[in-house]
Amino acid sequence: MHVYPAIVQGLESLGVRTAFGGNGENIASLTLALSRSDKIRPILTRHEQAASYMACGYAMYTRELGVCFATVGPGAFNLVTGLAVAMSDSYPVLALTGYIETRWEGRGAVNDTSGLNRTPDSQALFAATTKRSFKITDAEQTCDVLEEAVNIAFEGRPGPVHVAVAQNLTHRDVHVPDYRDPCLTVTPPQPDPAAVEEVAEELARALNGGRKVVLLAGFGAVHGGAQHEVRRFAERFQVPVVTTLDGKGVIAESHPLCVGVFSESGHSSAWKAFVEADLVFAVGNSLNQHATFGLREDLFADKTLIQLNISSSEIGKFYPARHGLVSDARPGLAAVTDALAAKVGERPPVTVHGQDYMSRHIPHVTGDIHPGQLAQTMGRMLPPGGVILADAGAHLAWLGYYLELADGQNFRKCGTFGPMAGHTNAAIGLKAAQPHRTVVVGCGDGCYAMSGFELMTAVENDLPVIWVVFNDAEFKLVKLYQLANYAHSGLVELAPPDFAAYARACGADGYRVDSIEDFRDAYAAALASNRPTVIDATITRWALPHYSSSPKGALHGAWEMLEERLRGH
Ligand SMILES: Cc1ncc(C[n+]2csc(CCOP(=O)(O)OP(=O)(O)O)c2C)c(N)n1
Ligand SMILES: [Mg+2]
């Protein structure tokens, strides 16, 4: 068996169902093997960057390996941004790329990335953006390398790995001597019973002592499938749940113990619950910038922090944690709940107040669509089990605030690395992984323009994603930042084309709407049609997303900023 066909067979044996990538001479044997596979569906993208985003989307809610591939040199380099997303957002992704003939390294070959004689260094680049980068230079290594790479992708906190195959190994006379299926031996980290006991003790002391406890759930709780455990914990101990933007939906947002999103653009009810809490139990949450009001130093000053995280490096990363429990979210939380139940009796029902985002009426002040109304409508009409992805920009704040998710629905913003276009394309991978779910993207006009050509890929592969473009003809987020910090704005205006006409030219459905009523009709048609659809929604520029730099409220935050400026910071 040749090297690339052996890799494809290995991936088949691991249950990989889809692979995303671009083509090139250097990986011609890989793409041939993929085109012949009856188990793996190859999806050829227009740009390799989109392939790596799609691999992330594929892994987002499945816990399966996302696979992307690209030829040597520029094709491989195009994968890097998506791998950085997989790295920061913990998706198990395998990137397969070509590599030149090893005897030509540094001698002037086309696409040389050996790092020799002023060529770019692909090993350094992939080492910097993956958990581990491998180069197969001997056919005998093929099965061992594939097995090790895949195990590393899933080990501990999942992430991306890279495998390059030298061109000289793709010649017809090179064979893998002893093919064997790779064995995936790693399992998600399980909780240490002694650490569980410590956490349960601390929580029991707090609850039995009448101190206020909140559970702060992040994307790790969603990705780790801990939804049921979050609800069980909250209901058994009558503990309010606040979520990060990425943890949104881990518990139905209409649940009486759900107090909303804790972030600068989140809900004041969640801020209040957090500020009043004596103990914060952070589950599957890295306590990154958006979940901490810009890494505020005093955020936990008067609180006890307990962290449950899949990675030990996340525990106490910035905020000192009284206790840390390293575990996959579901078994970790289940163990804590069981241990705590033995220490805490029945608890009186807690009433949480002020779910301020629920069913809020948004006044229609200008002729154009209000982005909050758009987000609210997208959420209300979302079918059971549907997913809404936001891209990078102000639109994510509207969506994070106004979507109200039911059990089984999901929302994910652009993640911690946060590239524009990331989720515009990840949605196609998500749809390929979970075709039974409705997949909707709420993206800015800037994000869509950066990568909307992958609509052709969605049409060609019959992947009916719905893109709702929050079209304000500007980089709203950047404009707001410039105005807030420098009192002026510049280079933020765009002149978007008619995205609906473009969609129709690609063979998708396209609608251009400038009233919420027309949006409702177009969205209903898109949900019913099962066809890739772009809805180009003209939104007003005269709306500001909810924002506060302090969990004590926008006024408090503004006062703090003023004080800081007066002190000359
Ligand atoms: C690849 C990339 N380039 C630049 C940025 C910085 N950035 C973040 S949001 C944004 C503006 C996005 O504009 P648009 O998609 O129209 O969204 P809006 O803010 O208007 O809702 C920019 C330039 C980024 N995150 N990623
Ligand atoms: Mg915009």
Give the distance between the most distant pair of CA atoms in the chain.
75
Looking at all shown ligands, the one closest to residue 396's CA atom is: 1
- Please tell me the residue having the least CA distance from ligand 1 atom 4: 420
In the structure encoding, which two tokens stand for residue 182, read together? 């790779």
| Ligand 1 pocket, residues with Cβ under 6 angstroms | 392-395, 418-420, 444-447, 470, 472, 474-478
Distance between Cα 392 and ligand 1 center (Å):
5
Phi, psi for 84 (deg, rounded to 5)? -65, -35
Q: What would the pLDDT profile of 16-53 be if each residue is shown by its tens digit?
A: 999 999 999 999 999 999 999 999 999 999 999 999 99
- Strand, coil or helix: 71: coil
- Please tell me the residue having the least CA distance from ligand 1 atom 10: 393
| Whole-number Å distance between alpha carbons of 375 and 413 | 13
Looking at all shown ligands, the one closest to residue 538's CA atom is: 2
User: Amino acid letter at 390?
Assistant: A
| Whole-number Å distance between alpha carbons of 390 and 382 | 14
* Contact residues for 164 (Cβ-Cβ < 8 A; gap 6+): 72, 76, 96, 97, 98, 99, 122, 123, 126, 133, 134, 135, 136
| Whole-number Å distance between alpha carbons of 76 and 130 | 13
Looking at all shown ligands, the one closest to residue 545's CA atom is: 1
In the structure encoding, which two tokens stand for residue 240, read together? 């309010």
* Contact residues for 89 (Cβ-Cβ < 8 A; gap 6+): 56, 219, 415, 416, 417
Phi, psi for 282 (deg, rounded to 5)? -95, 120
DSSP 342-369: TT----PPP-----TTTT------SSSB
| Whole-number Å distance between alpha carbons of 216 and 112 | 48
Distance between Cα 479 and ligand 2 center (Å):
10
Atom of ligand 1 nearest to the CA of 471: 16
Ligand 1 pocket: which of 420, 470, 479 to mutate (most atoms within 8 A of CB): 420
Atom of ligand 1 nearest to the CA of 418: 25
- Angle made by CA atoms 54, 331, 230, in degrees to the nearest 5: 80
Atom of ligand 1 nearest to the CA of 371: 21
User: Amino acid letter at 542?
Assistant: W
The model scores a pTM over 0.95: yes
Q: How many CA atoms lie within 13 A of 497 on its CB side?
A: 14
User: Amino acid letter at 467?
Assistant: W
Q: pLDDT 10s digit of each residue in the chain, 569 long?
A: 999 999 999 999 999 999 999 999 999 999 999 999 999 999 999 999 999 999 999 999 998 999 999 999 999 999 999 999 999 999 999 999 999 999 999 999 999 999 999 999 999 999 999 999 999 999 999 999 999 999 999 999 999 999 999 999 999 999 999 999 999 999 999 999 999 999 999 999 999 999 999 999 999 999 999 999 999 999 999 999 999 999 999 999 999 999 999 999 999 999 999 999 999 999 999 999 988 999 999 999 999 999 999 999 999 999 999 999 999 999 999 999 999 999 999 999 988 876 766 667 787 777 789 999 999 999 999 999 999 999 999 999 999 999 999 999 999 999 899 999 999 999 999 999 999 999 999 999 999 999 999 999 999 999 999 999 999 999 999 999 999 999 999 999 999 999 999 999 999 999 999 999 999 999 999 999 999 999 999 999 989 898 998 999 888 877 877 777 777 65
User: Amino acid letter at 371?
Assistant: P
Helix pair angle (422-433, 48-60), 10° resolution? 50
